[in-house]
Amino acid sequence: MTAAAVGLSHSPLIGRNDPAPDVLAAVEDAVETARSFVRAFDPDLVVLYAPDHYNGFFYKEMPPFCLATEANAVGDFGSAAGALSVDTDAARSLARGVLDRGVDLTVSARMTVDHGFVQPLEVLFGGIDKVPVVPVFVNGVATPLGPVSRIRALGTAIGEAAAVLDRRVLFLGSGGLSHDPPVPVLDGAPPRVADALIEGHPPTPEQRARGEERVIQAGRDYAAGSTRMVPINPAWDNLVLDTLESGRLTDVDAWTVEWMGAEGGGSAHEVRTWIAAFASLAATGSYRTTSRFYAPIPEWIAGFAVTTAEQEPNR
């Protein structure tokens, strides 16, 4: 089995509230580097770790993580809607392998996913049906959140289970780094919002458009400096990237939910997807980072990063 990893931030504001052309060009360069890396690696299976933003998972049942044997995208923020090309046999095999290794995995036979899953597939592969994928939801938004050590355990178990497949597997993490976008919070929510977060009523097109406009306006306000959102934290973001690059993944076991939220904002927990992806790669042997890009981009409300990593040649 051959393995590689990519971490890629996502933002619903890409293309809607873009930064200055030089920043945009630097991001495009970094993304092109990641695309070339993926093309050269030529994966025949992508294990995609991504969060949800109350489009697929709700408080009626909110697992810490969940693997899909089938998945459909809702098409939020202009992202593609429809079926992802899930490799159901590989998904079932990984699910069995994870459960055999003592990690209590939830499995969905029809997962609903949003831009968190779709953006990286569109950016790196040009669509949601271009490559066999195993989608793995990692809760990075809905508190309470469990210990980060369990996300590392999940990533490790999936990596070990994938290692017995005769495949070229790309572990892909979607989200982060520090950012505090306006995602609804259950605690203190008015009854109508709380009910939507618990039950998951699909929004009408008008409701969805209003929610998306609220996020776009928040991006404009954030870039203009008029907001109470937690600032992007380049020092913390680089600590996260340094930790992943160094391979000292056990360090993350000491990262508390409170510390991550205080340093990186309410959606900083999306870095759990990166931790899972790198733990999976680490489970197949030692690795090295081949590219790393970082920029704080207030227009996208994102500490925005792209990283690629491959197995060491002499493992």
Ligand X SMILES: O=C(O)CCC(=O)/C=C/C=C(\O)C(=O)O
- Residue 134 near ligand X by CB under 6 A: no
**Smallest separation, CB 212 to ligand X (Å):** 7
Binding range to ligand X, per CB under 6 A, among 176-184, 189-197, 230-238, 250-258: 176-184
Among residues 5, 7, 11, 27, the one that binds ligand X under rule CB under 6 A? 11
Catalytic residue among 10, 53, 179, 269: 179
Among residues 301, 305, 306, 309, the one that binds ligand X under rule CB under 6 A? 301
Binding range to ligand X, per CB under 6 A, among 82-90, 91-99, 207-215, 281-289: 207-215
- Residue 211 near ligand X by CB under 6 A: yes
- What lies within 8 Å, CB to CB, of 219 at 6+ separation is 13, 16, 17, 298, 299, 300, 301
CB-nearest residue to ligand X = 211
- Report CA-CA distances (Å) from 74 to 35, 53, 240: 25, 11, 30
Binding range to ligand X, per CB under 6 A, among 8-16, 100-108, 128-136, 254-262: 8-16
Q: Which two tokens stand for residue 35?
A: 């695309």
- What b-and-e string marks burial along 51-89, b requiring 16 or more CB atoms within 10 Å of the CB? bbbbbbbbeeebbbbbbbbebbbbbbbebbeeebebbee
- Residue 152 near ligand X by CB under 6 A: no
**Smallest separation, CB 171 to ligand X (Å):** 19
- Residue 53 near ligand X by CB under 6 A: yes
Q: Is 53 a catalytic residue?
A: no
Half-sphere exposure of 228 (CA within 13 A, CB side): 0
Q: Total number of residues binding ligand X (CB under 6 A)?
A: 18
Among residues 66, 215, 232, 260, the one that binds ligand X under rule CB under 6 A? 215
Binding range to ligand X, per CB under 6 A, among 7-15, 105-113, 238-246, 251-259: 7-15
Among residues 7, 12, 64, 266, the one that binds ligand X under rule CB under 6 A? 12
Residues annotated as catalytic (active site), given as ranges:
115, 179
Residues of this chain that interact with ligand X (CB under 6 A) are 10-12, 53, 116, 175, 179, 181-184, 211, 214-215, 267, 270, 301-302
